[in-house]
Amino acid sequence: MVSVLEKNPLVEPLRLPNGTVLLNRIAKASMEEGLSNGKFLPGEKIFNLYSRWAKSGAGLLITGNVMVDPNGLTGPGNVILRKGMDLSGLKKWAEIAKSGGSKIWMQINHPGRQTFSFVSETPVAPSAIKVKIPGKMFEKVFGVPRALSGTEIKELIQKFVQAALLAESAGFDGVEVHAAHGYMISQFLSPISNIREDEWGGSLENRARLLVEVIKGIRAVVKPGFGVGVKLNSADFQGGGFQEEDAIQVIRMLEPLGIDLLEISGGNYESPAMQGTSGKREAYFLEFAKKAKQITKIPLLVTGGFRTRAVMLEAISSEEADMIGIAAPFAFHPEFASSLAEGKIEKVSADIPKLSNPAINSIAKMSAIRLQFRRMGEGKEPKLPLSLVFNLILDQIRSRRNAKRYKKFLIDGAN
């Protein structure tokens, strides 16, 4: 435990550029909850889950994927935003999440080509390039996407802007634009998935145009005190893809746009480094954060592999990071953040066994995490499944049932 004379940077408040003050340096990073109600809106299960996290003492809670377009869904149990929607569920979500003093940001996203084929056989993307994961069992998991038209890209920008306005109206403290992990904006950034020859492809400046225009659009319409963040890959970890040098240049582009927090992560479905499969030690994106710190004044949230308090303290005290993002441990120990920050505990873990196939391991891990969300959403305590593979099968069955409900939702007019 930290002595009264020892400086403890984890408990120091963090003032963001917009004036918002976060009560400490620990954030619950985004994890897809998959707990929307029958109308793809937040309901009792989400409220129950966030009532647990509200007691954690985290300075910032970032939601799982909230979809900006009814036609783009990362997972068939996610919350979907749309024009004219009833905001009561979103308002209650924000109110519950903030009840313990944490700030709550909504992560807004579009999956692009990373849409499971049982959800959509022909998703939209920058270019008609399919997600490719090694192994025959993955051949039909993703369909061949259709390239967006220039008009559709401009409409997509407005959907992100509208999502931010809805979040602000509902009482969220900010939004995080998901530009990592191989989703739509990340696809535009990567020369592997973006082979366009118009103003949205080719040079890095063109490939980053979608992200830049989304941020400009959001900042132009929200209030000055509303938080605007970006989740950005340090790299895709694929040959010929989005590299560290590209990420540095994109950060330079973001610098003058009024970003309040930049989250550093990495990987995508084809190379799932965000799941800890990059082969590096604890805090595996911290090396890139050091480089980013040299060229930006935007506060950095570094997520990925943090487990021990000593490493977190070192990252903050050495000014390699301004905030520590922790994900999986929040699924198994939902109320640990203040205890960790104050030194009452020295380590947190998720203790999920690893499977030999990296791609299957990534999906199975997320299925195990979602099981904990469902349990807490139902008022139960977290409990690791006896079999990761069996739990994954059950999760896939559940997802396909939700996908049928989703398709009916689209047919009925997405109301």
Confidence of residue 317 (pLDDT cuts 50, 70, 90): very high
Amino acid at 270: E
Look at residue 309 in the predicted model and tell me its pLDDT. 95
Q: Cα angle vertex 93, ends 50, 41, to 5°?
A: 110
Is the pLDDT reported for residue 56 higher than 90? Answer: yes
Please state the φ and ψ torsions of residue 381, each to the nearest 5 degrees: -90, 155
Quickly count: other Cβ atoms within 10 Å of residue 135's Cβ: 10
| CATH homologous superfamily for the domain 9-411 | Aldolase class I (3.20.20.70)
Residue 330's closest CA among 376, 299, 398, 362? 376
Q: Which helix (H) or strand (E) holds 411?
A: helix 388-411
Report CA-CA distances (Å) from 411 to 3, 78, 81, 159.
Answer: 61, 18, 16, 20
Residues for the chain: how many in total? 415
3-state helix, strand, coil in the chain (%, to 5): 40, 15, 50
Find all residues with CB under 8 Å of 23, minimum gap 6, and list them.
Answer: 13, 57, 59, 101, 102
Domain positions in the chain are 9-411
Q: Is 145 exposed, middle or buried (0-12, 13-18, 19+ CB in 10 A)?
A: buried
| CA quadruple 145, 146, 150, 155: dihedral sign | negative
> How much is the average pLDDT of 207-212?
98
For the stretch 153-171, pLDDT in tens is 999 999 999 999 999 999 9
For the stretch 111-133, pLDDT in tens is 999 998 989 989 999 999 999 87
Look at residue 355 in the predicted model and tell me its pLDDT. 85
Confidence of residue 6 (pLDDT cuts 50, 70, 90): low
0.85 exceeded by the pTM? yes
Could you tell me if 113 and 125 are in contact, meaning their C-beta atoms sit under 8 angstroms apart?
A: yes
Look at residue 273 in the predicted model and tell me its pLDDT. 54
